[in-house]
């Protein structure tokens, strides 16, 4: 009986995330949800969402409570992207505004939540080196990739925060990178890759033998390059040519299980099933795709797609539209700045007025009224649990 009680106490408990509206600081630019809860981290996991703004501030909200968890002035410039590297730390990059053709200043920082400590990894001017387009950390938190708008991408060691390799110039013009969620072998229970180490150190996850991880990068033409990395050894495995019928530029990529999704500037998405070695393409009937993100959870193949004028939820397995949001300046002043997943069934939307909306898959529990717009900018982490619902389905899009 005592053993049964101990086993019951060890059972993971999933934190429930309610649909709600949170008010962040004004002029938001990007957001990123922290790592999901797993069997390895559930005891100390918090559902944290980081929101960056044009002033260089990163606000971190606990979506279980809707309250502001941390606020850190990280950058001197506008935050362009955030990538979590554990439960307690994230990478972020920022760049200054361009005036009359002047140089853009840019910087890449790593920040620890518990201490608020921020370290500059890279910085520069656009006249000397290209600004950063994206940063992607590997699933085992061993490495991260820096993708530049014009220069070849770089691969960094996340433990030592040091450069491993800068690829040849032929890989300039890469528009997106994504890590394979699968890796060469299972982690041993006694390795130091446990996320609990994040509470002590920015990058303390080490293993006696580095595990091999894989990633892909793609350029505007749609060429897909497959790489592997183990320690300091980087190998180019294969090159997949673009689809003959696809002539538009690739703008986004996402990878989960055996499915790779490519988004293009004409609104088309191509889904590659690696196990079946087949590809399917469908039009979203929207404009250029900015970001694609898979929902968390084993077997959950839903994706969020960010457009210039809103966001979609699609089911990749069925290649079917689930729900959509279309912004309308004539109806409401807010645009959708970013989209992510708070949980497997909880999309989260960042509006240009500083409103963060955690909603459901159908966007039915969607509150974004003028009261929220008037409150936005206070940055106090106000929560609106209003039941003012805007009904929505694929044929009747929800307008902001």
Across the chain, mean pLDDT equals 84
Q: Residue 291 has which token pair? A: 């970001």
In a domain, 23, yes or no: yes
H helical segments located in 272-339:
none
Residue 291: inside a domain, yes or no?
A: yes
196-237 confidence digits (pLDDT tens): 444 444 444 444 578 999 999 999 888 889 999 999 999 999
Please check whether residue 5 lies inside any domain of the structure.
Answer: no
Q: Strands (DSSP E) along 241-377, which ranges?
A: 250-256, 259-264, 268-273, 278-283, 289-294, 302-307, 310-315, 320-326, 336-343, 346-351, 355-358
Residue 245 near residue 279, CB atoms below 8 Å: no
pLDDT of residue 10: 54
User: What pLDDT is attached to residue 328?
Assistant: 66
Q: Please indicate, yes or no, if residue 11 is contained in any of the structural domains.
A: no
Where is 375: in which H helix or E strand?
helix 370-375
Residue 241: which pLDDT band, with cuts at 50, 70 and 90? confident
Domain holding 53, by residue range, is 17-399
101 vs 35, higher pLDDT: 35
Q: Is residue 372 part of a domain?
A: yes
Q: Is residue 8 part of a domain?
A: no
Q: What pLDDT is recorded for position 381?
A: 53
Measured torsion, CA atoms of residues 283, 285, 289, 295, in degrees rounded to the nearest 10: -70
Distance CA 113, CA 44 (A): 14
The total number of residues shown for the chain amounts to 400
pLDDT at 295: 97
DSSP β-ladder status, 233-240 and 250-256: unpaired
Q: Could you tell me the CA-to-CA distances from 326 to 52, 70, 287, 310, 372 in Å, in that order?
A: 23, 31, 11, 5, 18
DSSP-assigned letters across all residues of 189-247: TTSTT-GGGGGT-TT----SSPPPEEEEEEETT--EEEEEEETTEEEEEEEEPPPTT--
pLDDT greater than 80 at residue 297: yes
List the Cα angle 81/392/298 in 5-degree steps: 55
Sheet holding 162-166, edge to edge: 132-137, 143-148, 154-157, 162-166
In a domain, 351, yes or no: yes
What pLDDT does residue 207 have? 46
Is 264 domain-assigned? yes
Strand 162-166, strand 174-179: pairing? unpaired
The CATH number of whichever domain residue 302 belongs to comes to 2.130.10.10
Please give the pLDDT value at position 399: 41
pLDDT for 278? 86
- Is residue 370 predicted with pLDDT exceeding 60? no
Distance CA 76, CA 79 (A): 9
Over residues 128-139, the mean pLDDT reads: 94
What are the strands of the beta sheet with 250-256, ordered from one edge?
250-256, 259-264, 268-273, 278-283
Alpha carbon distance 8, 215 (integer Å): 38
Indicate left, alpha or beta for 277 from its phi (over 0: left) and psi (-120 to 50: alpha): left
Work out whether the CA dihedral 235, 240, 246, 247 comes out positive or negative. Answer: positive
Q: Nearest-CA neighbor of 31 among 101, 80, 103, 78?
A: 80
The pTM for the full model equals 0.85
Q: Does the structure show a pLDDT above 90 at 1?
A: no
Measured between alpha carbons, how far is 67 from 371 in angstroms, rounded to an integer? Answer: 19
pLDDT tens-digit readout, 35-74: 998 888 888 899 999 999 999 999 999 999 999 999 999 9
Read off the DSSP letter of residue 32: E
3-state secondary structure of 3: helix
In this predicted structure, the answer to whether residue 384 has a pLDDT above a threshold of 90 is no
Pairing of strands 105-112, 89-95: antiparallel
Lowest mean pLDDT among 64-68, 217-221, 242-246, 309-313: 242-246
Query: Domains in the chain: how many in total?
Result: 1
Rounded CA gap, 78 and 96, in Å? 6
């Amino acid at each position: 009986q005592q053993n049964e009680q101990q086993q019951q106490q060890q059972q993971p408990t999933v934190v429930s995330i309610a649909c709600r509206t949170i008010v962040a600081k004004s002029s938001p630019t990007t957001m990123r949800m922290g790592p999901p809860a797993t069997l390895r981290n559930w005891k100390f996991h918090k559902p944290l969402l980081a929101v960056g703004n044009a002033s260089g501030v990163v606000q971190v909200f606990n979506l279980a409570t809707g309250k502001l968890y941390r606020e850190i002035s990280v950058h001197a410039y506008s935050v362009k992207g955030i990538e979590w590297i554990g439960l307690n730390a994230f990478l972020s990059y920022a760049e200054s505004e361009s005036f009359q053709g002047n140089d853009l200043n840019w910087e890449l920082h790593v920040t620890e939540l518990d201490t608020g400590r921020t370290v500059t990894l890279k910085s520069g001017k656009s006249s000397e080196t290209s600004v950063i387009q994206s940063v992607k950390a590997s699933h085992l938190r061993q490495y991260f990739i820096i993708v530049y708008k014009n220069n070849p991408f770089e691969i960094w060691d996340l433990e030592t925060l040091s450069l491993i390799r800068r690829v040849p110039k032929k890989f300039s013009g890469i528009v997106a990178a994504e890590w394979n969620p699968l890796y060469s072998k299972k982690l041993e229970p006694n390795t130091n890759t446990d996320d609990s180490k994040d509470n002590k150190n920015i990058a303390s996850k080490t293993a006696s033998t580095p595990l091999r991880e894989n990633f892909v990068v793609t350029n505007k033409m749609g060429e897909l390059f497959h790489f592997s990395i183990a320690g300091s050894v980087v190998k180019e495995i294969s090159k997949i040519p673009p689809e003959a019928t696809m002539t538009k530029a690739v703008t986004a990529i996402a990878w989960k299980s055996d499915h790779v999704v490519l988004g293009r500037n004409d609104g088309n998405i191509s889904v590659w099933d690696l196990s079946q070695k087949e590809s399917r393409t469908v039009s979203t009937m929207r404009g250029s795709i900015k970001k694609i993100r898979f929902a968390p959870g084993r077997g959950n193949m839903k994706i969020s797609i960010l457009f210039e004028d809103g966001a979609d939820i699609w089911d990749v397995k069925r290649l079917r539209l689930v729900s959509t949001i279309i912004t309308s300046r004539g109806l409401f002043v807010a645009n959708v700045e970013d989209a992510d997943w708070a949980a497997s069934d909880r999309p989260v939307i960042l509006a240009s007025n500083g409103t963060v909306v955690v909603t459901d898959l159908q966007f039915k529990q969607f509150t974004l009224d003028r009261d929220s717009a008037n409150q936005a900018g206070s940055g106090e982490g106000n929560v609106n649990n209003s039941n003012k619902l805007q009904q929505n389905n694929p044929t009747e899009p929800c307008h902001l």
